[in-house]
Amino acid sequence: MDIGAAQGCVPVELARSHPHLSGGGFDLPAVAPIFSRYVASHGMSDRLHFISGDFLVDDLPRADVLVMGMILHDWDLPTKRMLIGKAHPALEKGGSLIIYEFFIDDARRTHLPGLLMSLNMLIETKGGFDFTGADCIAWTQAAGFAESRLVPLIGPHSAVIATK
């Protein structure tokens, strides 16, 4: 389940790559028709569904895997921690939270995309900022996740995979 799914690119790509998967997206009610059209245009309506909600207010949907991609950097530290904390009870035992972002290197000196994105978030949001993989791992552990690790992805992204 993609949290803050927008049009549904992540669920569609995952479902295309892994035909055995089903899932969907969770986002504000106004996004539902956009998500549904995009999913239908890729012939995935039988496997992907939309759940309306506000992740700042509502419980997250129950799932085996939750994805938060480029979501946490929009928010201040208490909100980041709250969102990670909401993921833990929504996951089945052994389930995983996947957080992908432009993680800043631990020394905060070399990952230019992450540093620039953090500056952008500081300008565009009330309290948003990018962070290191170590920061994110610590937040997932504080939320009760049993295991968390940082995985480099293609390009400037990396993912923290936290397992319940």
Compute, in degrees rounded to 10, the torsion defined by CA atoms 144, 149, 86, 52.
-160
Q: Starting at the edge strand that comes first in sequence, how are the strands of the sheet with 147-152 ordered?
A: 48-52, 23-27, 2-3, 63-69, 91-101, 158-163, 147-152
Residues making up the chain, counted from first to last = 164
Considering 73, 88, 111, 157, which one is annotated as catalytic? 73
> Cβ distance 1 to 27 under 8 Å?
no
C-alpha angle 127-128-134 in degrees, rounded to nearest 5: 115
Q: Has 73 been annotated as catalytic?
A: yes
Structure tokens at 94: 């052994």
Structure tokens at 110: 């070399």
Which helix (H) or strand (E) element contains residue 149? strand 147-152
C-alpha angle 113-128-145 in degrees, rounded to nearest 5: 90
Residues carrying an active site annotation:
73
